[in-house]
A and B are shown apart, each in its own frame.
Chain A
Amino acid sequence: MAETVELDGSVIKFEGVFDWNETYLAIVSWFRSRRFDYFETKNVKKSTTYGFELEYGAKGVREETDYIRYTIKLALHGYHMDNVEIIDKSGEKKQLVKAGYIEIKINPTIDLDWKHKWEGTEFKKKARTFVHEHMIKRKVDEWKDKIYYEAYQLQTKIKEAMNLEHKYSAYDARKKVIGK
């Protein structure tokens, strides 16, 4: 088993009207533009008495080096959703989805030694742990920081697509991790 470190994720909760197509496209194009391999893990739509329920799960995997692999998991759950048609200011008809309640969770993780090169024996595993905790601790923190802020960039992209009020992040300009 590779050493998997789960980092703090974020949650967006929204009740209102939003463009699901635009949100979906924004998510997929963001993952593709950052060279993640994109997998849909769940796509369930259930009809209920009060509209439909949508469950969508996806993950993006990127093999950064032969030692570290980044994964960002996305889980979306919408309740009491309905399709609505609106006419925007330019007179165009737009198909939107009215969400009773939608929750989006983004969780980044990092896999260290994902090729299992240091797992043959107990000694190798302990040596790997020692190296991570003492010898390259700062390096591991830098790798964690990188995927942590990339997950926030995805969150900002989703907020822009859903047209939420807070769709700006001062940390998006952070392309390289600022090490200590």
Chain B
Amino acid sequence: MPERKLLVSDLTLEYEGLFDCADLFRLIDDWFKQNGYDKNEIKHIEKVREKGKFIDYEIAPFKKVSDYAQYDIDVRVLVNNMTNADVTKNKQKLQLNKGKVTIIFNALLVTDVSERWESKPFFFFLRVLFDKFIHKRYIEQYDKGLMTDVQNLHTELKGYLNLSRHTQGS
């Protein structure tokens, strides 16, 4: 088993109001592709309920930064009571969605991806020593890189949803 270090746990973003659901998913997908992550969809559940649609969409894209380390970001998008809403803005008719969105982020730094340092207890011990003392600076750089990625994604989605809020108001 590779070593997994949880760097971000349940970082949540909540929004309620008007937004474009398809556009939101597109934004997440585009961001991961542009930042060099490989696609990994865990689940996609959609249920049509009386009060609106319920969507549970979870992805865990990964990015190999070296042959030793990998970034894993887990994003779960929960949409509750989503309905369609026709909005007129600047004399243009737009079809948007209305509901409650919750986005949960988790980020893991995975080291020894190819499990080369786990075949024997001595190798495992060497790996721990290397990670704690010799490769410490590199591990810290990987940590920083992953945190930056999560922060950027969080900021981008927050900005998009805030923009939706302002659009709703005007």
Contacts and interface: CB of A to CB of B under 8 A. Distances in A.
Nearest to B41: A10
A171 B47 contact: no
Contacts of A17: 48
Interface residues of A, number: 21
Contacts of B22: 165-168
A149 B22 CA distance: 21
Interface of B: 21-22, 25-26, 29-30, 32-34, 39-41, 43-48, 53, 55, 57, 79, 82
A159 B48 CA distance: 15
7 contacts: A12-B44, A152-B39, A159-B44, A164-B46, A165-B21, A166-B44, A171-B29
A10 B34 CA distance: 22
Contact of A166 (B47, B48, B57): B57
A13 B32 contact: no
Contacts of A13: 43-46
Nearest to A10: B41
Interface of A: 8, 10-17, 149, 152, 155, 159, 164-171
Contacts of A149: 39
Contact of A169 (B39, B45, B48, B79): B39
B48 A15 contact: yes
Nearest to A14: B46
Nearest to B49: A15
B16 to A, nearest CB: 17
